[in-house]
Amino acid sequence: MAENITPRKSDYSQWYQDVIREAELADSAPVRGCMVIRPWGYAIWENIQKGLDARFRATGHENVYFPLFIPQSFLQKEAEHVEGFSPELAVVTHGGGKRLEEPLVVRPTSETIINHFFSKWIGSYRDLPMLLNQWANVVRWELRPRAFIRTTEFLWQEGHTAHATEAEARAEAVRMLRVYEEFARKVLAVPVIAGRKTEREKFAGAVESYSIESMSGNGWALQSGTSHYLGTNFARAFNTRFLDENNEQQYVHQSSWGVSTRLVGAVITAHGDDHGLKLPPEIAPRQVAVVPIWKSEAEKAGVLQAAERIASDLEAAGIRTKLDDRDTVSPGFKFNHWEVRGVPLRFEVGPKDLAGGHVTASARNRPGREGKFTLPFEGLAGETRSRLASIQSEMLADAEQRRDAMTYEVRTYEEFKAVFEEKPGFYRLWWAGGREDEERLQEETRATVRNIPLDQPDAEGTCFMTGRPARSMAIVARAY
């Protein structure tokens, strides 16, 4: 266990903060609820960006950028949207030393301003579908901040699309949710559950909302991404119409979808242990740390030369590698430095390794003796790639095993209340409740219906809360 990291079982919230501090992911900003993302944390986000951006482009989306400031009147055009976001808005009333004629809202999301331009850019069915995405920052005033998970300002991407038909827009919302699901599993090694949000939990202004939910190490859920079918709500508010093939005016149907720096929080909570961060190789800023070890000046030259060659060969093979040749700190300090930052593989190179023609390797996902092995110098790059692929697969399998072990089923609300506090986790329950039932559930247990999974059993049951016949199972959990 790392000396400066609180054990998870003692205080999970403090453990999370300790990992962020010790791994140098982020720091608190002077403005409450904001954070400074440090180089290691930002490099993780950059790798997330690269992976997602490639997927967006492959599905036909183009990147754009819209202004940070939005006229307040834009938000007021869609009643449900403004009502949902009002408590979270940051509003600018003065600029250039003068009171503004119209207050400006600092972007909480961009449906309104994008529709303003959709209405200018879309005139015919030939302009559809319009598939846009932007990488940006947004501001939502946060009362209970937590680095990466809930911050007043955060980084994200928001996709916005316009379609000729309801079927196309609905399909787009689900398609992009599945893109998120695949990315979370394949790249983040986080086994999320993709599903539909309840009426109470849906996005303000949406007809249908969807989410991917990850499980944290303490059993709590983390909404890690959302996708929405917006219907024609914003199109009607902004008169976003097109001339169809019959020469008739129609409103476009729309989708929007987004993930944020909260994904970094999902990785921390899904994989981290009492030693610190544990990064899947796909997003690790450095996949291998090479640590040369010598005891005398006579050993130093040969060890350093070998370590430099190893690091250079790995980099040339496309493996993100760091040679830690600092001579101001001990090897033990270096081991801890890279362990707490979650580097997937650490290679030690000392006189005995040179004599044996190998490196001594440690896999971060298997602490202790279990993760120790040697790799020969010959063919090292190829073997390293293979080991990194194995680590990626093992981390997903481990996360799935933890999630499944903390997923429960109960039949009644009374049974749920009796066990939920002692056994936090995901509860797969038959659900046919309404808004009032959800409010009671949250008030009495602090749990919420996270989503109704898209993948459902071919069966029917009885709602655990209302006793009514139910055709769907829901995921119920406590959430961040």
The pLDDT of residue 120 is 97
Q: Tell the residue number behind the tokens 């609180």, with chain if given.
A: 6
Residue 308 burial (CB count, 10 A): 15
Residues 158, 30 share a domain? yes
- Give the range of the structural domain holding residue 360, as residue numbers without chain letter: 288-390
- Determine if the pTM surpasses 0.75: yes
The pLDDT of residue 2 is 73
Residues 321, 230 share a domain? no
pLDDT class of 7 with cuts at 50, 70, 90:
very high
Residues 297, 241 share a domain? no
Domain contains 113: yes
The pLDDT of residue 1 is 54
Residues 299, 262 share a domain? no
pLDDT tens sequence across 315-338? 999 999 999 999 999 999 999 999
Residues 230, 126 share a domain? yes
Domain contains 277: no
The pLDDT of residue 374 is 97
pLDDT tens sequence across 385-412? 999 999 999 999 999 999 999 999 999 9
The pLDDT of residue 368 is 84
Residues 51, 20 share a domain? yes
pLDDT class of 13 with cuts at 50, 70, 90:
very high
Q: How many residues does the chain have?
A: 480
Kindly report the CATH number assigned to the domain that includes residue 422.
Answer: 3.30.110.30
pLDDT of 81 strictly over 80: no
CA 203 to chain centroid: 18
Extended strands (E) in 25-116: 26-28, 35-37, 62-63, 69-71, 91-95, 98-106
pLDDT of 73 strictly over 70: yes
Residues 338, 220 share a domain? no
The pLDDT of residue 86 is 81
Domain contains 422: yes
Mean pLDDT score, 293-316: 95
Residues 442, 375 share a domain? no
Domain contains 308: yes
Number of structural domains the chain divides into: 3
Give the CA distances from residue 61 to residues 57, 172, 255, 466, in Å, rounded to whole numbers and listed in that order. 5, 11, 13, 43
Residues 229, 116 share a domain? yes
Residue 413's SS3 state is helix
- Contact at 8 Å (CB) between 310 and 349? yes
pLDDT tens sequence across 259-281? 999 999 999 999 999 999 999 99
Residues 30, 138 share a domain? yes
pLDDT tens sequence across 338-360? 999 999 999 999 999 999 999 99
- In one-letter notation, the amino acid at residue 188 is L
Boundary-marking domain end, from 244, 271, 298: 271
Domain contains 4: no
Residues 55, 87 share a domain? yes
Domain contains 6: no
- Contact at 8 Å (CB) between 109 and 158? yes
Domain contains 18: yes
Mean pLDDT score, 208-237: 97
Residues 357, 209 share a domain? no
Q: Tell the residue number behind the tokens 């970094």, with chain if given.
A: 264
- Contact at 8 Å (CB) between 252 and 235? yes
The per-residue pLDDT of the chain, averaged, comes to 96
pLDDT tens sequence across 130-155? 999 999 999 999 888 999 999 999 99
Higher pLDDT, 143 or 26: 26
